[in-house]
Amino acid sequence: MPCFLHKKNIPLFLVVCLILISISSNSFAATADNYLLKGINEFRELTNNTNKAKYRANWEAVAKNFTTIIKRYPKNAAVPKAYYYLGRTYEELAKRSLSRNDNVIAVDKFLTVVEHYPLHDFADEALFRAAYLRYTKLGQKTDARRNLSRLVGEYKNNTSVHKQAVEILNTWGGPINYIVPETARRTQISGKTLTHYTEKPSYSLPNGKAEITDLTYKSSDEYTRITLTLSKESKYRYQLLSPDPSAGHPHRLYIDIENAQLSPKIAPRTEVFDGILRSVRAAQNSSKTTRIVLDFSSLREYKVFNFANPDRIIIDVFSPKKITPYTSYAQNPQTNERERRQESQPPKNMTQNTAQNMRDRATLINKDMASDLIRQLGLTVETVMIDPGHGGRDPGASYFGIKEKDLNLAAAKLLGSYLKDLGFNVIYTRTTDIFLSLDKRTALANTEKADIFISLHCNAHKNSNINGLETYSLNLAKDSDAIRIAARENAVDAKKISDLQFILSDLMLSSKIQESTDLAIFIQKRSLQSVQSNWKVKNGGTREAPFYVLMGAKMPAVLVEMGYLSNRSEINRLNSNKYLKRLMQGLANGILAYKKTIEQFAP
């Protein structure tokens, strides 16, 4: 066949066009990614700039990034987020323009996410926003109730959105029947695998290899947690790679897992597009090694560590803020070291008088110290995430026919009620008897941007005479009892705690260790004060241990052991509604005292 495209016959402009087409096809996915990241960044900047936000043209310029993705790359995994942020752009524009049409456009974009991508991570929030705008701005109250009824019925995994929907729906007249659109049942992104976290039983492949059975992530605009679930423990190593602009490669972090292979269900590439990560790639690097690669949108801080039972590798990636290091009163040279030790450890002869006389740290934190923490916590402590320990197939400690998971949940609901009365915003890791992995609980606290994380548990000991109330913060265990309790709550052998402490020494650099210790002391003191007027309760003191459920928390976080179920007197108290109410009132007062101490010097 004769070649008519001889270079002498091709006009210069056609050569240029062919080159551009070639470049475009080679950078297809990256271009969609870039439009999305550019749009999100511009959206955030505009919402924070009062002067620029006044002008419609600025909002329309932001929207153009998202409409470009939808028009040019209709099958790209970025499309659902493009629709969502397009809705958010018009929602914010409507607040300034007061235009009904802008709200109509916003609702349309939100519902497009729900109808065409119902399993996407943003679908439930899109449905919530559509319902709220329809009810408050468009007068479509029946349709709004249908939307929220669907959210309550189908989207139960997102704690905060689901909880808000239930509360608002009750004020709107309760649930109403709805019909799920046919498109919602069958339409998904081409080639996109959307999975929810499920624990897998431990097993090994016949050839002795571990299988990577699940790859999931939980993300927000400031934090992402990737969880790799393995059928058995495997060695791994990781390394950060420098960017390669000539090849279009950003910073990359790879994790090589030895003697492991991928499950067929894991997609080669999982798109994230959260402003922190672009994607997570998985491949068999060799016959014995599996490689997981994280493609960063830009270089961020990260931590890699592992959990057990089941074996998991956790990668936390977040956008760090430049903050002033926290200084507790323990670092104040004017503080008496002996008094500090006495307050944080259980006294030998604890009486009601000595409990009442324990001094608040409010008298020991000076103005400069409080100001540092105010800046770190965003000037206030507003949102508390409550974590009822165990649940579902994990009952926790069980004695005399009473299960720990049930007591934890009952206590959590009481605590939440008291905190609401005190003006706090309260969210939960669970409100029903369901199973949640320990790593997912911390991830929820981080993605929901909680200011405080409280995990409620009951203790147990082979010696039935052991009893007492104890409050733990994250740190290296300093005694055998702390190691034993951490091993029990982590569901691992006590021998593994030594390995965990090595990992923790690195994690502590980015965790709010001292803030958590301060919070623990407030909670321990006020809880004891609340119950010791009517019951003889032993002060187990504030302690430190490496708890999985607290690892990676980006806010002050404590674990409260409310009492020993293995002790007959203590389990009877905890099973008493009167006692549990008083205990949770005290715990809530401890959180309030901490909040007031932090905020008393706020400008």
Return the structure tokens found at 597. Answer: 């101490």
Domain co-membership, 156 together with 279 = no
Q: What is the pLDDT of residue 431?
A: 92
- Are 357 and 250 in a shared domain? no
444 shares its domain with 555: yes
Residue 309 lies in a domain: yes
Mean pLDDT over residues 451-460, rounded?
92
Contact 240, 233 (CB under 8 A): no
The mean pLDDT value for 213-221 works out to 82
Domain holding 148, by residue range, is 26-186
The pLDDT value given to residue 320: 53
Note whether 463 and 574 are same-domain residues. Answer: yes
**258 found inside a domain:** yes
Tokens of 108: 């349309």
pLDDT digits (tens, 9 = 90+) for 272-330: 766 678 888 999 888 788 999 988 876 667 888 877 777 889 888 876 554 334 444 33
Q: CA 589, CA 420: separation in Å to the nearest integer?
A: 12
The verdict on 243 and 378 lying in the same domain is no
Instruction: Mark which of 298, 318, 338 sits at the end of a domain.
Output: 318
Q: What is the mean pLDDT of residues 465-491?
A: 65
More confident position, 513 or 591:
591
What pLDDT band is residue 264 in, cutting at 50, 70 and 90? confident
Please report the pLDDT score of residue 583 as a whole number. Answer: 97
pLDDT higher than 90, residue 588: yes
Residue 157: band (very low, low, confident or very high) from pLDDT cuts 50, 70, 90: low
- pLDDT of 390 > 50? The answer is yes
CA nearest to 586, candidates 531, 538, 534, 543: 531
Q: How far is CA 514 from the centre of its chain?
A: 21
Give, as one character, the DSSP assignment of residue 266: S
- The answer to whether residue 540 sits within a structural domain is yes
Q: For residue 323, is it within any domain?
A: no
On whether the CB atoms of residues 210 and 204 are closer than 8 A, the answer is yes
DSSP codes joined into one string, 55-80: -HHHHHHHHHHHHHHHHH-TTSTTHH
Beta strands at 398-399 and 402-403: parallel, antiparallel or unpaired: antiparallel
Q: Which two tokens stand for residue 526?
A: 């006020």
Which is nearest to 414 in space by CA: 250, 583, 545? 583
Q: What is the pLDDT of residues 4-48, one digit of tens each?
A: 344 344 454 444 444 444 444 443 344 787 888 888 989 988 988
pLDDT tier at 158 (50, 70, 90 boundaries)?
Answer: low
Kindly state whether residues 278 and 134 are assigned to the same domain.
no
Statement to judge: residues 359 and 501 lie in one domain: yes
User: Mean pLDDT, the chain, as a whole number?
Assistant: 75
Give the range among 8-17, 65-74, 537-546 with minimum mean pLDDT: 8-17
Q: What is the pLDDT of residue 101?
A: 83
Tokens of 79: 């499309």
State how far the Cα of 163 lies from the Cα of 156, in Å rounded to an integer: 9
Share of the chain above pLDDT 90, in %: 24
* Angle between helix 123-136 and helix 159-171 axes, rounded to 10 deg: 20
* Residue 301 β-bridge partners: 318
**Strand boundaries in 361-499, DSSP class E:** 383-388, 398-399, 402-403, 425-428, 452-459, 469-474
Higher-pLDDT residue of 368 and 582 is: 582
Do residues 229 and 154 both lie within one domain? Answer: no
Is the pTM higher than 0.85? The answer reads no
Least confident of 11-15, 148-152, 457-461: 11-15
Write out the E strands in 242-365.
252-258, 260-262, 269-271, 277-284, 289-296, 301-307, 312-318
Question: From edge to edge, which strands make up the β-sheet containing 383-388?
Answer: 425-428, 383-388, 452-459, 557-564, 469-474, 539-545
Q: Are 111 and 178 in contact (CB under 8 A)?
A: no
Q: Residues of 309-338 as b/e, b for ≥16 C-beta within 10 angstroms?
A: bbbbbbbbbbbeeeeeebbbbeeeeebeee
Burial of 393 (0-12, 13-18, 19+ CB in 10 A): exposed
Written as one letter, the residue type at 28 is: F
For residues 546-564, average pLDDT: 82
Q: Does the residue 328 lie in any domain? A: no
Classify residue 338: in a domain, yes or no: no
Positive or negative, the CA dihedral 161, 165, 166, 171 is positive
Higher pLDDT, 583 or 235: 583
**Residue-level pLDDT at 75:** 81
What band does 1 get if pLDDT is binned at 50, 70 and 90?
A: very low
In a domain, residue 518? The reply is yes
CATH of the domain at 79: 1.25.40.10
Q: Do 172 and 228 lie in a common domain?
A: no
Both 383 and 491 in one domain: the answer is yes
Taking residues 537-543, what's their average pLDDT?
Answer: 90
55/184: higher pLDDT: 55
In a domain, 347, yes or no: no
pLDDT of 97 above 70: yes
Number of H helices, E strands in the chain: 19, 18
CATH number, domain at 215?
Answer: 2.60.40.3500
pLDDT at 90 over 90: yes
Q: Angle at the Cα of 511 (from 510 to 517), degrees rounded to 5?
A: 145
Same domain flag for 119 and 234: no
More confident residue, 495 or 191: 495
Above 90 in pLDDT, residue 523?
A: yes
pLDDT tens-place string over residues 328-382: 433 333 433 333 333 334 434 434 333 333 334 433 344 444 444 444 444 468 8
Same domain, 500 and 379: yes
pLDDT at site 565 = 93
Task: Say if residues 150 and 123 touch (Cβ distance below 8 Å).
Answer: no
Does position 401 have pLDDT exceeding 60, yes or no? Answer: yes
Beta-bridge mates of residue 399: 402
d(CA 592, CA 422) in angstroms, rounded, equals 8
Count of domains for the chain? 3
The domain that holds 376 is classified in CATH as 3.40.630.40
The confidence score (pLDDT) of residue 72 equals 85
Q: Give start and end residues of each alpha helix (H) in 73-203.
A: 79-97, 100-116, 123-136, 141-154, 159-171, 182-186
